[in-house]
């Protein structure tokens, strides 16, 4: 059994994230820990694997043991045989330029003999649907594929205790179910999440909420939400796609290097919510980049209120909230980010409060969920007629997702929402687009 006793953690110059945290993780009894962004889920994972104090200037007290063995006394590379984690921000986790090398590295560190290593590598790549990408450049993978790569790496480390940090986010429904079946095969498991997914029903032996530095029993909430209604007088603009084709080359790949996206028809109206779903790597983010003017179509037309609109102008009417919010953030503090678009400091203060942000926080130190809120706040100030929420619901709570959606709709924006969440999909009533292998329907 893994045992955590009286754990306390604080980063240099900051208040403690938690001060007396205790938890037992028993064999075959997966544990769920839910919390709002910034409560310390990722820090807890970093502390248990041994990197919080070694690389991120954190200090801690308390004990962490496995059947009486003091794990805090072990170095990080030794401790990884006992505990390892998947990483929430998959971009930060990638070490090597190719998929096979990324997964092979931890296998090499286990000093497996070459034939066993090759068969294990092939089996893990197959298990996570990455065989076809084995020679692909890791940077060319979609968000969900990067997530699967990160999970494949965790599988290659093969620890006793698996910590899945928001590992279900960005995965399609099919892969969420598959991951859950993989998780059920592990002896010791902690899943960290920002909201309770429908797929979790009946799976966890114990569930906790990390709140205010304490672990408290988590009661499964009765989640029922309805999509907010737009103001009727806001329905005045539209973006229309017709016969769009876009080709993109996977530069490093021998097989299947060319991805083709086709969007025969799509209409987004201001004041309305449209839903876009599809498997990982099907082209949802590529389509979003086209609509928001970050890419230019090879063929077809896009019209804004009936008038043909080019990529440059699309950037002024469409807000694209990236899947990875850190891609959008580049200024030192929350204040700097908001002031780069706000007309006055009063507006920046008001919006920061609306999105539960602290103006003096450093952007690079924000949790993934807080970074999503900041990204939403920036585009809220910009007040564009259209917005694309690329998996907004990952890393933040349902309540926050719906609150942000309401705020945008109140301003009359048309929102294209990309999601893998079954609750959101099943409760959605409106225009639902699906993407499959690059084809929009």
Partner 1 sequence: MKMGSYIYRKSFYHAFDSRAKLLFSLLFSIALIVSASVYHALAMAAIMVLISFLSLGMRETLMNFKRILLLIIFIILFSPLSMRTGRPLVTLHSFTLITYEGAFYSLMVLLKFIGISFIFSLLLETERMEDLIRALRYFKVPYGVSITISMTLSLIPALIYRYSEIREAMALRGIKGRKRAMMAPLSSLIVSAVKMIPDSASMLEERGFTSKEVPSYKKLDMNAFIFTQIAISVIIPVIFIIWR
Binding site residues, partner 1, CB under 8 A:
46, 49-51, 54-56, 75-77, 80-81, 84-85, 87, 91-98, 100-101, 104-111, 113-114, 117-118, 121, 135, 137-139, 153, 157, 251-254, 257, 292-294, 315-316, 319-320, 327-332, 340-341, 364, 378, 382
Q: Is 370 left (phi over 0), alpha (psi -120 to 50) or beta?
A: alpha
Give the nearest distance from C-beta 377 to partner 1 in angstroms.
Answer: 12
Least Å from the CB of residue 426 to partner 1 = 31
Report, in angstroms and rounded to the nearest whole number, the Rg of the chain calculated over CA atoms.
22
Residue with smaller CB distance to partner 1, 1 or 76: 76
Q: Least Å distance between CB 385 and partner 1? A: 14
Backbone conformation region of residue 136, classed left if phi is above 0, alpha if psi is from -120 to 50, else beta: beta
Residue 363 Cβ vs partner 1, minimum distance, rounded to whole Å = 9
Pick 118 or 127: Cβ nearer partner 1: 118
433 in helix, strand or coil? strand
Cβ-based neighbour number of residue 12 at 10 Å:
8
Q: Which of 387, 380, 381, 323 is nearest to 143 (CA)?
A: 323
Choice between 144 and 424, CB closer to partner 1? 144
Shortest approach of partner 1 to residue 203 CB, angstroms?
26
CB of 160 or CB of 198, closer to partner 1? 160
Please state the closest distance from residue 51 (CB atom) to partner 1, in A: 4
C-alpha distances (whole Å) from 239 to each of 236, 242, 303, 367 are 11, 10, 6, 33
Q: What is the DSSP letter of 430?
A: S
DSSP conformation letters of 52-95: HHHHS-EEEEEEEEETTEEGGGS-HHHHTTTEEE--SSHHHH--
What does the block give as tokens for 337? 């980010």
Minimum Å gap between C-beta 195 and partner 1 is 26
- Complex with partner 1: residue 36 or 169, whichever CB lies closer: 169
Closer residue to partner 1 (CB): 242 or 340: 340
Longest dimension (CA), the chain: 70
- DSSP readout, 208-251? EEEETTEEEEPPPP-----PPPPPGGGTT-EEEEEEEEEEEE-T
Beta strand 431-436 pairing with 273-278: parallel
Residue closer to partner 1 (CB basis): 51 or 359: 51
């Amino acid at each position: 059994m893994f045992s955590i006793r009286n754990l306390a953690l604080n980063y240099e110059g900051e208040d403690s994230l938690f001060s007396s945290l205790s938890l037992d993780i028993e064999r075959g009894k997966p544990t769920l820990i839910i919390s709002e962004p910034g409560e310390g889920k990722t820090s807890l994972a970093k502390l248990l694997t041994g990197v919080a104090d070694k690389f991120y200037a954190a200090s801690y007290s308390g004990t962490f043991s496995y059947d009486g063995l003091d794990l805090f006394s072990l170095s990080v590379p030794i401790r990884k045989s006992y505990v390892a984690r998947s990483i929430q921000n998959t971009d930060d986790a990638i070490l090597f330029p190719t998929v096979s090398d990324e997964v092979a590295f931890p296998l090499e560190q286990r000093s497996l003999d070459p034939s066993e290593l090759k068969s294990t590598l092939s089996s893990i790549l197959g298990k996570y649907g990455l065989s076809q990408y084995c020679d692909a450049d890791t940077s060319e993978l979609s968000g969900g594929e990067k997530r699967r790569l990160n999970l494949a790496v965790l599988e290659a480390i093969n620890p006793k205790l698996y910590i899945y940090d928001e590992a279900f986010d960005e995965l399609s429904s099919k892969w969420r179910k598959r991951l859950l079946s993989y998780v059920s095969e592990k002896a010791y498991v902690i899943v960290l999440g920002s909201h309770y997914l429908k797929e979790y029903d009946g799976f966890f032996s114990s569930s906790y909420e990390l709140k205010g530095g304490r672990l408290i029993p988590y009661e499964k909430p009765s989640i029922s939400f309805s999509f907010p209604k737009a103001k009727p007088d806001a329905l005045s603009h539209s973006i229309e796609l017709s016969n769009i084709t876009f080709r993109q080359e996977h530069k490093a790949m021998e097989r299947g290097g060319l991805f083709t996206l086709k969007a025969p028809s799509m209409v987004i109206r201001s004041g309305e919510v449209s839903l876009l779903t599809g498997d990982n790597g099907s082209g949802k983010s590529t389509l979003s980049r086209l609509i928001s003017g970050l890419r230019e179509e090879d063929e077809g037309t896009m019209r804004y209120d009936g008038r043909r609109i080019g990529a440059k102008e699309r950037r002024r009417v469409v807000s694209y909230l990236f899947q990875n919010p850190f891609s959008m953030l580049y200024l030192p503090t929350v204040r700097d980010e908001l002031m780069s678009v706000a007309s006055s400091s009063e507006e920046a203060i008001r919006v920061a409060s609306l999105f539960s942000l602290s103006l003096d926080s450093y952007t690079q130190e924000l949790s993934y969920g807080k970074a999503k809120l900041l990204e939403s706040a920036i585009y809220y100030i910009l007040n564009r007629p259209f917005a694309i929420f690329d998996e907004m619901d990952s890393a933040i709570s349902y309540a926050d997702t719906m609150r942000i959606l309401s705020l945008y709709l109140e301003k009359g924006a048309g929102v294209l929402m990309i999601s893998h969440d079954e609750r959101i999909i099943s409760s959605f009533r409106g225009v639902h687009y699906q993407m499959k292998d690059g084809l929009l329907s």
